Chains A and B, each alone.
Chain A
Amino acid sequence: MNFTLKIWRQKNVAAKGEIISYDVSGISPDSSFFEMLDTLNQKLIMTGGDPVAFDHDCREGICGTCSLYINGRPHGPVKGVTTCQLHMRSFADGETIHIEPWRAKAFPVIRDLIVDRSAFDKIIQAGGYVSVNTGGVPDANTIPVPKEKSEAAMDAAACIGCGACVAACSNAAAMLFIGAKVSHLALLPQGRVEAAKRVQKMVACMDELGFGNCSNTYACEADCPKGISVTNIARMNREFLGAKLFAEKEKVVRDSL
């Protein structure tokens, strides 16, 4: 198969980027998208060009390293897969493919198609955990969890932190990412103890880092490679509101003492 690629090239965070056009030929339909880019890069290396930088690692759809905004969609045209699991048979022979990095204020471009997603790490650091230390925990079976809850928690926990939700959102909101983590822990008894504080801290961190707000377009869910549902955002909002009301109630009680 042959393709024309229109790829965003940008030397570093300070440089001005531009779209450059490349042709690749003789690509097997069974090649993955990255194997197609590998072929382009080998060609560029051998002809004295500058290979295209892109993030990738496990190439099996689980590490969340890969990104790429392909033909106007995060992770490309196929629903439910990451870019590394996208195969060239999903494109038409001779097609022109546009490849850009994630676009969001909180995800600055490092080079070409690579962005800095450490904002996601900061959000988790703000509270995306259960505060237990190693050792000194009860036997695992002393905390029964209803199967439905545990399954719902697993659905939310399947998030790979790739950032497609932010890239898909016209407001560059991170609500699906945070909603997934808040839900995962709020659904489990282990996570309930800190649920109120967690959601407040994570949302505050999200605002600080320059992510936008949710306007319910559901674009995030549509483009999430792991099918994380927007019900997680609803659950987060409920948790957030509950935490706020609870905090106010607590303040009233405290003041009256």
Chain B
Amino acid sequence: MTRLNARIPEGPVASKWTDYKSSCKLVNPNNKRKLDIIVVGTGLAGASAAAALGELGYKVKVFCYQDSPRRAHSIAAQGGINAAKNYPNDGDSAFRLFYDTIKGGDYRAREANVYRLAQVSNQIIDLCAAQGVPFAREYGGLLANRSFGGAQVSRTFYARGQTGQQLLLGAYSALSRQIALGNVTLFNRRDVLDTVLVDGKARGIITRNLVTGEIERHAAHAVVLASGGYGNVFFLSTNAMGSNVTPAWSAYKKGAMFANPCFTQIHPTCIPVHGDTQSKLTLMSESLRNDGRIWVPRKLSDVEKLRNQSIKPSDIPEEERDYYLERRYPAFGNLVPRDVASRAAKERCDAGFGVGSTGVAVFLDFADAIKRKGHDTIEALYGNLFQMYEQIVADNPYETPMMIYPAVHYTMGGLWVDYELMTTIPGLFAIGECNFSDHGANRLGASALMQGLADGYFVLPYTIGNYLASEIHTPRFDTNASEFTLAAQGVTDRLKKMKNSGGKESVDHYHRHLGKIMWEYCGMARNDAGLTEALYQITELRQEYARGVRIPGGLDEYNPELEKACRVGDFIELGELMVRDAQQRQESCGGHFREEYQTSEGEALRNDDKFASVAAWEYNGGEGTASLHLEELQFNEIKLSQRSYK
């Protein structure tokens, strides 16, 4: 086991980034156009990075599996984006945003990175406003803010319930401008299946053209992965159907370490599962918790009556309702962080108080808010969300309480990166949800959009320059070099082997099975025995999958089953690593709740002496094996304490 060095600049936390920017190496504009950069992914992180790097004059190639860069799953983010503007004059500052993010992440994120994030947050809002992002405004014409996800200040900027969409379209428009100017070349409908290393540095990628099936080689002086999170390892999640870990996993197998894979976020307000053919879950914005009250019946007899529909939720009198978040956490009530809210819902449902036909749901009730603020105000605030709910569930939330249940939503773990967002492979960078760095063990609401755009617009353009300054004498690469040929051959062989394996079951069969194992043993609550069982089951699944899976169609044509087969193969391997990581982390923190480690009141119990560190896993060639490395987390600015929302 080695200790990882994050190469954090010296000096006080508040001046690290400023000092870094004034001392990092720069690349002359004449040299920038001789340097190629590959960006994988066109979500907030990828699109903003590709646009910003194109503006600087680098030659950028950007890749996405979707038909258009505008469709990346950042588009589905609803609630908002945080910034420390302090426009409402309610006491916010970069330090407070930094403090809240470290605390919200249960003290498992790196101070220096998070402080930088808080510092650049304001620039993001300025840039997006200049791009024409239609943020919500007050009558005076200035920007509106709201409190979000338990923050005690109003620092969240939003565009109705479609903030991710509007920010992504802003980044997409900046990207489109660079494409038109010829600084960026777009490759859509491409899967990135391998990372190519030359002399130990990342120098390219191998892609599959999803329309023609052609295996393509692309070279560059540096590679940036912005390929998003891996929530689909659970099969059912709020991620898009195509969201996958494959580009990051290929980098892992080439030597990039994977950090804190077990840190996953289960979001408390999603629409409950309806049945066995369900393909994905839909999130209802967390902003609903600002006005909705969460409850289940106090008496099991009422649960029973609700289920056989002899009473309606509104028939249950106030004193027979258990507003369990308000009961357990009087200070924060319904606005406790996501991990806490999710676990509390699971606790009630496990105890038999769950509602709905499956018993795996809780009420989110707006009756009080409608009474207090009026129907029209609630409609103005949440109209599109209510409409979405009604469309999916065929129930009117103005009249009867919504039913919600937690679902997998975001993955805090990801490729390990240093302060410069570089992985353990020189020249390979990871940004956005794809890396691990800023959210610790739990991400706060409205922080994902902030991090994606911070990395892409304002951090990477500096740090990648510091790396590329030493590459100006490196000529453009020939993709006929043996390293590229070998990698391309490896991809072709893998696809052929999978295609010809002739298994009985389809890819989805295995994916569903994996999802069930992960949700059961590595979901909202974990314990040693369960994780051991999960490891056993996943190993079996991996072996079965390797023996054969049924894939129709050919290699050289549009073949979605083949695409899925690669992704699911990687998810199975990742699932195994997640379980190992969850097993070694013998503490509870944030979204990682080990049942053995809890306070007498059932709250997460950290072990700072042993686990105030990042667990980074290194692939060592074999199947199902990996070596663990640690990065000790130093807390100089913030004193570690028990997170309390009571």
Contact = CB atoms under 8 A, between A and B. Distances in A.
B394 to A, nearest CB: 7
Given A48-B552, A125-B179, A190-B130, A62 B186 contact: no
Interface stretch (B106-114, B119-127, B146-154, B622-630): B119-127
Nearest to B278: A35
Contacts of B186: 121
Given A147-B137, A188-B134, A131 B177 contact: yes
A65 B70 CA distance: 9
Contact of B241 (A56, A135, A184): A56
A45 B176 contact: no
Interface in A84-129: 85, 87, 89, 110-111, 114, 116-118, 120-121, 124-126, 128-129
A42 B277 CA distance: 11
A45 B179 CA distance: 39
Interface stretch (B22-30, B71-79, B583-591): B71-79
Name the interface size band of chain A.
35 or more
Nearest to A32: B279
B621 interface: no
A126 B179 CA distance: 10
B490 interface: no
A153 interface: yes
A157 B135 CA distance: 11
Contact of B125 (A31, A56, A140): A140
Contacts of B179: 121, 125
A30 interface: yes
Contact of B70 (A12, A111, A161): A161
A78 B387 CA distance: 13
Among A133, A134, A188, residue most surrounded by chain B Cβ atoms (within 10 Å): A134
A125 to B, nearest CB: 4
B165 interface: yes
Contact of A124 (B172, B458, B552): B172
Contact of B134 (A55, A117, A184): A184
B550 A144 contact: no
A63 interface: yes
B306 interface: no
A12 to B, nearest CB: 7
B274 A65 contact: no
B162 interface: yes
A121 B69 contact: yes
Given A49-B552, A60-B76, A134-B52, A158 B129 contact: no
B172 A62 contact: no
Contacts of B126: 137-140
B176 A125 contact: yes
B394 A89 contact: yes
A38 B134 contact: no
A12 B141 CA distance: 51
Nearest to A36: B277
Contacts of A57: 66, 71, 73, 240-242
Contacts of A190: 129-132
Contacts, number: 214
B180 A126 contact: yes
B130 A138 contact: yes
A80 B391 CA distance: 10
A237 interface: no
A129 B131 contact: yes
A114 B76 CA distance: 22
B506 interface: yes
Interface string B188-225: 10000000000000000000000100000000000000
A168 interface: no
Interface stretch (B247-255, B287-295, B526-534, B555-563): B555-563
Nearest to A144: B141
A247 interface: no
Given A59-B279, A130-B130, A135-B127, A154 B69 contact: no
Given A28-B277, A57-B71, A61-B388, A124 B176 contact: yes
A81 interface: yes
A132 B73 contact: no
A31 B275 contact: yes
A141 interface: yes
A64 B478 CA distance: 37
Contacts of B52: 134
B70 A64 contact: yes
12 contacts: A30-B274, A57-B66, A57-B71, A63-B72, A85-B392, A129-B173, A134-B55, A140-B143, A141-B142, A141-B143, A157-B166, A160-B165
Query: Closest 6 interchain pairs by CB?
Result: A144-B141, A129-B173, A140-B129, A137-B130, A154-B134, A125-B180
Interface of B: 48, 51-52, 55, 66-73, 75-76, 85, 87, 123, 125-132, 134-143, 159-160, 162, 165-166, 169, 172-174, 176-177, 179-180, 186, 188, 211, 238, 240-242, 274-275, 277-280, 282-283, 387-388, 391-392, 394, 457-458, 461, 506, 508, 550, 552-553, 557-558, 560-561
Given A134-B55, A137-B126, 7 more contacts: A31-B275, A38-B279, A116-B67, A137-B129, A158-B165, A190-B130, A190-B132
